[in-house]
Chain A
Amino acid sequence: KAGVTQTPRYLIKTRGQQVTLSCSPISGHRSVSWYQQTPGQGLQFLFEYFSETQRNKGNFPGRFSGRQFSNSRSEMNVSTLELGDSALYLCASSLAGAGGYTFGSGTRLTVV
């Protein structure tokens, strides 16, 4: 079965712009989570969506937002990009949100 699909794989944006990243979970998975990975901070939790509702939220500024659609696909948006937002953004999905999570390949965002 298909894994977690993230698009695009790579993105270069200019400081001040906004960006939208997309995630298609494994078929049947209703929980979608987003993480940011950087060499300095490691993997950090952004938020989790379950049945179109944000169920958990990490400690990121309001410039980071997300949503989930009725087919469980999810998008995350970052507005007013800063250089420090350059990172690998990973999406993970699971059946009900309390077990193991499968990660997608990630979107590598570079802000210049």
Chain B
Amino acid sequence: QKEVEQNSGPLSVPEGAIASLNCTYSDRGSQSFFWYRQYSGKSPELIMFIYSNGDKEDGRFTAQLNKASQYVSLLIRDSQPSDSATYLCAVNHGAAGNKLTFGGGTRVLVKP
């Protein structure tokens, strides 16, 4: 059973602070990793994807990947109330194409 684990939260963050979200995965052969944001009642929205070890930055978001530790993280800098949502970590297990396994998600609450 290929698993992706996330802390369910809620992660409460003051406005303007950094939110740090973590995700671990069990399949050592996984090659690509995704972070999605899902607002209540809406479908998931892609924030970032990362393939290589290290950091990848896009605006206020930074994804970090450590394949040796089987660990992916997402940092949200200068958190805003509009960042309040559930953040889903996903790992692609497909040898070709798409076979994403999602974590249960971390609920983030940004307080003004």
Q: Which residues of A contact B (CB under 8 A)?
A: 31, 33, 35, 42-45, 48, 50, 55-56, 58, 90, 92, 94, 97-106
Contacts and interface: CB of A to CB of B under 8 A. Distances in A.
Interface in B62-112: 88, 90, 92, 94, 96-105
A50 B97 CA distance: 8
A27 B25 CA distance: 33
B49 A100 contact: yes
Contacts of A35: 100, 102
B46 A90 contact: no
B96 A97 contact: yes
B99 A101 contact: no
B43 A56 contact: no
Contacts, number: 64
Given A100-B46, A100-B49, A58 B34 contact: no
A98 B98 contact: yes
26 contacts: A33-B100, A42-B104, A42-B105, A43-B44, A45-B100, A45-B101, A48-B98, A48-B99, A55-B97, A55-B98, A58-B99, A92-B98, A94-B98, A97-B96, A97-B97, A98-B32, A98-B97, A100-B46, A100-B49, A101-B98, A101-B100, A103-B43, A103-B45, A105-B42, A105-B43, A106-B43
Interface of B: 32, 34, 36, 42-46, 49, 88, 90, 92, 94, 96-105
A101 B46 contact: yes
Given A45-B101, A97-B96, 14 more contacts: A33-B98, A35-B102, A43-B88, A48-B97, A50-B97, A55-B96, A55-B97, A56-B99, A90-B44, A97-B94, A98-B97, A99-B49, A100-B34, A101-B100
A106 B44 CA distance: 10
B46 to A, nearest CB: 4
Contacts of B102: 35, 42-44
Contacts of A58: 99
B110 to A, nearest CB: 23
B97 A31 contact: yes
B103 to A, nearest CB: 8
